[in-house]
Amino acid sequence: MNNFNFKNPTKIIFGKDTIEQLKNEIPEDAKVLLLYGGGSIKKNGIYDQVRTALANVSVIEFGGIPANPEYAVLMKALEVIKTENITYLLAVGGGSVIDGTKFLSAAALYEGNTPWDILKENIRTEKGLPFGTVLTLPATGSEMNSGAVITRAETKEKLAMGGPGLFPQFSILDPQVITSIPERQLANGLTDAFTHVLEQYMTYPTGALLQDRFAESILQTLVEVAPKVLKDPTDYKAASNFMWSCTMALNGLIQQGVPTDWAVHAIGHELTALFGIDHARTLAVIAPSHYKFNFEAKKEKLAQYGERVWNITEGSIDDKAYAAIEKTVDFFHKLGIDTKLSDYTKDYEGTAEKISQRFTDRGWLGLGEHQSLSPDKVEKIVKMAY
Ligand code: NZQ
Ligand code: ZN
């Protein structure tokens, strides 16, 4: 096991009817900016629960943060924060609203001229404006980590940011919120969380027995609850296990002491930036090709995953590893998620070259756990995913 430091300061308030506890978490003298997305919270009752809980606090609202939070929209929210002297941010939404709020938390205290530099120059945020979240969509883990991904339509870019100042102070996780989520987004959430675990697990063995089993148990739980969540989102047992699995998949715990990959996400973000494909679906497109292309380097962990998560007992390490990739593709298909780029766009020719060139321009010359995935290899992986 590798050495590690681990600190996660986010307070989690989990369970049925917990949104009312908001009133205990936000200082009474705060001036709050309530941030939300396209309006789902107004239809499903979450907005009313939040406003009731905040009855005694001064609140201004900013809605309309789109999926894949857009820089130009967020810059308008930044103006509100400055002109209204906002002291506290409250994100009510999924990964997009929470990520947008993290960007605003950083940008509000940023001293440079152009907040886009936080993303472009990968500036770590040590201190941000305080914020909390009410999660409405289990998927990204953003509710308990310090990362965010922001999109800029103007330049078709999607870049990540983060830093120790960007953990939410608290996150409220009421699994009942999933009852109004469309099936497509539930499938996305399952796929995203599943891939988060793979990114931190599918590398090479380092003797981190407990982390491996943490990771495998999250994968097993997602596989078990997936059909139940899709069939009946009011099934509380399935919903609560789904929600907690998504949070645990990316709150930093399972990556301690082990190498991590994250190439699938790096490549996937480009597919969202170029074609607007849902984040989770880009991962399902890239992951199978990535694991096939890097088969030799990853086959021991692939085989272990095959044995422990998919009960593959027959054959050599190579056989089990191949079968594990097939099982993963099958799992995505059962969720209704297509796994080829050509399933999403007819304009895929030239995409591999474009992504490879972007990575070269950004100096991303070696992705993955061995920092060996050069842009020419990325190009091959994307072509395999056509
Ligand atoms: O905008 P509204 O109207 O709220 O509708 C949203 C949106 O259309 C809807 N939705 C959310 N909760 C709902 C609901 N509809 C009905 N009932 C509810 N309870 O779902 C749609 C998608 O929401 P979004 O927030 O975009 O989804 P998700 O949580 O999957 O977030 C995706 C974003 O997170 C980033 C992705 O790149 C993408 O931009 N990620 C963030 C990460 C992080 N911060 O750690 C890691 C991830 O790998 C990922 O990159
Ligand atoms: Zn993801």
Cα-Cα end-to-end distance for the chain:
37
Q: Indicate which atom in ligand 1 lies nearest the CA of residue 145.
A: 45
pLDDT of residue 200: 98
- Ligand 2 center to residue 95 CA distance, Å? 9
- Quick one: fold of 182-384? Dehydroquinate synthase-like, alpha domain (1.20.1090)
Q: Indicate which atom in ligand 1 lies nearest the CA of residue 65.
A: 1
**Would you say the CB of residue 200 lies under 6 angstroms from ligand 1?**
no
pLDDT of residue 244: 98
Q: Indicate which atom in ligand 1 lies nearest the CA of residue 102.
A: 44
- The pTM is what? 0.97
Q: Which of 8, 10, 40 for a ligand 1 pocket mutation test, highest count of atoms within 8 Å of Cβ?
A: 40
Ligand nearest to the CA of 279: 1
Q: Give dist(CA 214, CA 225) in Å, integer.
A: 17
Q: Which of 98, 99, 135, 166 for a ligand 1 pocket mutation test, highest count of atoms within 8 Å of Cβ?
A: 99
Q: Indicate which atom in ligand 1 lies nearest the CA of residue 178.
A: 19
**Would you say the CB of residue 136 lies under 6 angstroms from ligand 1?**
yes
pLDDT of residue 206: 95
- What is the DSSP secondary-structure string of 230-297? HH-TT-HHHHHHHHHHHHHHTSSSTTTTS----HHHHHHHHHHHHH---HHHHHHHHHHHHHHHTHHH
- Ligand 1 center to residue 90 CA distance, Å? 16
pLDDT of residue 123: 96
Q: Per CATH, is 11-176 categorized as 3.40.50.1970?
A: yes
pLDDT of residue 32: 98
Q: Which of 41, 133, 146, 185 for a ligand 1 pocket mutation test, highest count of atoms within 8 Å of Cβ?
A: 185
- Ligand 2 center to residue 255 CA distance, Å? 14
Write out residues in the chain with pLDDT < 70, as ranges.
Answer: none
What residue segments make up the domains of the chain, in order of their start?
Answer: 11-176, 182-384
Q: In what order do the strands lie in the sheet with 58-62?
A: 11-14, 170-173, 131-135, 88-93, 31-36, 58-62
Q: Give dist(CA 146, CA 162) in Å, integer.
A: 5
Burial status of residue 89 (CB atoms within 10 A of its CB: 0-12, 13-18, 19 or more): buried
Q: Give dist(CA 104, CA 110) in Å, integer.
A: 9
pLDDT of residue 6: 97
- Ligand 2 center to residue 55 CA distance, Å? 35
Collapsed DSSP state (helix, strand, coil) of residue 319? helix
Q: Give dist(CA 284, CA 359) in Å, integer.
A: 20
pLDDT, tens digit, for every residue of 305-336? 999 999 999 999 999 999 999 999 999 999 99
- Ligand 2 center to residue 218 CA distance, Å? 15
